[in-house]
């Protein structure tokens, strides 16, 4: 709420001369509403709806300036996130079809956990799905500071924290740890040669998401959550 309120005030000063300002504000509020809905959802239907609205609204926010960079970034963001959406649809479809979701979390098999992990990796821009986050920086600066630095990119980690008793089994803890380390390493290397300041911030965010993923892989989900909150505030 604090971060969102700050960014909404920032937006009124930063974009008030734009002709499409009302459209921008409307889409941004849809994004914020779907993020809150995702955090507070307690059913499959609301979670899927919120997850899809996040992807759609972020696509239109990145596309706001209608130039070649915005179009390229929006398509990259949308298609990568859509890949994650497919993993999520398959996960929930199999859950309902098998009756696993309604019986016991312990009955989830390894491939179901893997689907959930892939969903989280795409949304949180973990290796090898990291390319969309720097591309999404072609959005207006308030969008970059809210959507792609402190909210949208954390959705995958929030999902893993909600289902951590399913995913963080012995088979997958080392996998989550390795992916987080790769993300930290490659984003740090890429930021050394990047000249666009907004993309440097995006790569820094990517490194922090990798760090949170490593912490999650170590089984310290509460520490990972605290890191997410502190990073969002900064």
pLDDT per residue as tens digits for the range 6-20: 888 888 888 888 788
pLDDT at 228: 87
Tokens coding 55: 């992807």
C-alpha to C-alpha distance for 59 and 210, rounded to whole angstroms: 23
How much is the average pLDDT of 98-105? Answer: 52
How much is the average pLDDT of 190-203? Answer: 88
How much is the average pLDDT of 208-214? Answer: 90
C-alpha to C-alpha distance for 50 and 145, rounded to whole angstroms: 20
Confidence of residue 181 (pLDDT cuts 50, 70, 90): very high
Note whether 175 and 117 are within 8 A (CB). Answer: yes
* CA–CA distances in Å: residue 68 to residues 26, 58, 63, 64, 222: 23, 17, 9, 11, 41
% the chain with pLDDT above 70 = 92
Confidence of residue 102 (pLDDT cuts 50, 70, 90): very low
pLDDT at 139: 83
Residue 101 has pLDDT above 50, yes or no: no
Work out the number of other CB atoms within 10 angstroms of the CB of residue 100.
17
- The angle formed by the CA atoms of residues 69, 83 and 27, to the nearest 5 degrees, is 55
pLDDT at 221: 83
Residue 91 or residue 165, greater confidence? 91
How much is the average pLDDT of 95-123? Answer: 70
- Which pTM was predicted? 0.82
Note whether 176 and 168 are within 8 A (CB). Answer: yes
Average pLDDT, the chain: 83
pLDDT in tens, 26-53: 988 998 898 888 888 777 788 888 888 8
pLDDT at 170: 61
Q: Whose CA is closest to 208, among 216, 218, 197?
A: 216
């Amino acid at each position: 709420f604090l971060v969102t309120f700050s960014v909404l005030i920032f937006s009124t000063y930063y974009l008030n001369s734009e002709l499409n300002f009302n459209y921008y504000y409307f889409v941004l509020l849809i994004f914020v509403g779907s993020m809150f809905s995702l955090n507070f959802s307690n059913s499959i239907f609301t979670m899927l709806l919120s997850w899809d609205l996040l992807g759609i609204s972020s696509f239109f926010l990145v596309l706001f300036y209608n130039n070649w960079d915005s179009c390229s970034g929006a398509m990259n963001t949308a298609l990568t996130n859509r890949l994650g959406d497919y993993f999520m649809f398959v996960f929930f479809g199999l859950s309902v079809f098998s009756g696993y979701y309604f019986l016991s979390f312990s009955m989830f098999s390894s491939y179901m956990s893997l689907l959930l992990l892939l969903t989280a990796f795409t949304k949180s821009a973990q290796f090898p799905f990291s390319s969309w986050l720097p591309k999404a920086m072609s959005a207006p600066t308030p969008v970059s500071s809210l959507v792609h630095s402190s909210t949208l990119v954390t959705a995958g980690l929030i999902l893993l924290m909600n289902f951590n008793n399913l995913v963080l089994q012995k088979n997958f803890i080392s996998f989550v740890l390795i992916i987080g380390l790769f993300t930290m390493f490659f984003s740090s290397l890429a930021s050394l040669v990047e000249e666009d300041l907004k993309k440097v911030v995006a790569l820094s965010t990517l490194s922090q998401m990798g760090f949170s993923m490593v912490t999650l892989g170590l089984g310290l989900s509460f520490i990972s959550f605290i890191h997410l909150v502190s990073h969002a505030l900064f």
